[in-house]
Amino acid sequence: MKTLGNATNSMEETIETVLRDAPLFKGGEGMVYGPVSGGISNENWRVKETQGTGDWFVKVPGNGTEMFIDRVTALDASQKAAAAGLGPRVYDDLGDRGIEINDFLPDRRPSTNSDFADLDLCKAAIGAYRTMHGLPSLGLTKTVFDMIDEHLQQVKELHAPMYKDAAWILLNADLAREAIHASGLDLVTSFNDPMPGNFMIDDAGTVMLIDYEYASMNDRCYDLGIWFGEMFFSHERELELIEEYFGEVRDDIVSRVTVHKALADVKWCLWSMVQLKMSRLDFDFHKYGMWKKMRARSIMEHPDWATHLRRL
């Protein structure tokens, strides 16, 4: 870890500015900092107090993320989650710059996909989702269709690359839009970003959630669908978790989750096209986006796709 004044690149210069400016860090003297790996949108840091017990996680907004992240809502969601014991304590120092500061969680570690092979941990995560969906409402309503529309406009404005089969995928996304809107949206306070590293677990198997920057009022089945896709759950495991969450398994619920799973991949594929133009992080956004696109196609091309749309 480095001390103040030893920055060797632009990202380190940025975090040193945060250390100097945030009242919590008292000008940065006596603090050390180092990068935290895992994120693909922002610049993440751990800051520690050398003469004391202070230990914090600092998120510096990635280049261009203001195009699709409402930082006021992100802070609101983080604070509400912390108050419910779902997330770590959050500080509002430099919140007006979109910088997020939380207590670091040294007794927890980020989960991996393999951790969620354990059914008990999956059920603990379902409990976390129930808590999330029961939080007080947020000021921002942003469904997956709002996200898709937003990214399509950004792709156009940035002259970002677009995948060759976009017209076919977006046609099917519009069919899903019509079906879901006809059945009605079930809006709740939603997490919207279930990367494995956002589930912090301890030795007892309890789960806390971090990173609320994509939070919004959204359909609860989007939260479940995007999580199921991110974890590569089998169909059988998805049915177990639907029953755990809803208390029953119904065809319309299964279809609603499945359709949202496909839509989530469309959203993140488009997001990747935007990131190709905007991000300064060392990450293969093209490969990530093409993987998301192909998985969306695998659901939309399946013979059951039309059945899922009718069931909604």
Coil/strand/helix, residue 5: coil
The confidence band for 304, taking pLDDT boundaries of 50, 70 and 90, is: very high
21 and 57: one domain?
Answer: yes
pLDDT attached to residue 279: 86
pLDDT at 67 over 90: no
120-176 per-position pLDDT tens digit: 999 999 999 999 999 999 999 999 999 999 999 999 999 999 988 999 999 999 999
Question: Which whole number is the average pLDDT over 285-298?
Answer: 94
Q: Which domain holds residue 6?
A: 2-103
When divided into structural domains, the chain yields a total of: 2
Question: Which whole number is the average pLDDT over 38-47?
Answer: 84
CB 229 within 8 A of CB 244: no
44 and 136: one domain?
Answer: no
151 and 205: one domain?
Answer: yes
Q: Structure pTM?
A: 0.90
pLDDT at 40 over 90: no
Tell me the percentage of the chain whose pLDDT exceeds 90. Answer: 88
**Cα(284)–Cα(276) distance, integer angstroms:** 8
Last residue of a domain, one of 72, 103, 134: 103
The confidence band for 111, taking pLDDT boundaries of 50, 70 and 90, is: very high
Number of Cβ within a 10 Å radius of residue 200: 20
**Cα(148)–Cα(50) distance, integer angstroms:** 45
Last residue of a domain, one of 53, 75, 103: 103
Q: Which helix (H) or strand (E) holds 189?
A: strand 187-190
Number of Cβ within a 10 Å radius of residue 155: 19
**Sign (positive or negative) of CA dihedral 275, 279, 284, 288:** negative
30 and 168: one domain?
Answer: no
Last residue of a domain, one of 59, 80, 103: 103
CB 198 within 8 A of CB 209: yes
Q: Residue 158 carries which side chain, given as an amino acid letter?
A: L
99 and 113: one domain?
Answer: no
149 and 287: one domain?
Answer: yes
199 and 278: one domain?
Answer: yes
217-265 per-position pLDDT tens digit: 999 999 999 999 999 999 999 999 999 999 999 999 999 999 999 999 9
**Beta strand 109-110 with 100-103: parallel, antiparallel or unpaired?**
unpaired
68 and 139: one domain?
Answer: no
Check residue 303 and report its DSSP letter: T
74 and 199: one domain?
Answer: no
CB 93 within 8 A of CB 23: yes
20: exposed, middle or buried (Cβ count in 10 Å: 0-12, 13-18, 19+): middle
135 and 15: one domain?
Answer: no
Residue pointed to by tokens 């589930």: 199
Q: Which domain CATH number covers 223? A: 3.90.1200.10
pLDDT at 281 over 90: no
239 and 258: one domain?
Answer: yes
Q: Which domain CATH number covers 94? A: 3.30.200.20
pLDDT attached to residue 41: 73
Closest-CA residue to 41 (of 266, 192, 226): 192
**Cα(274)–Cα(289) distance, integer angstroms:** 10
Mean pLDDT of the chain: 94
Question: Which whole number is the average pLDDT over 40-52?
Answer: 89
98 and 199: one domain?
Answer: no
CA angle, 58 then 116 then 42, to 5° = 20
Closest-CA residue to 83 (of 204, 182, 196, 212): 212
pLDDT attached to residue 65: 78
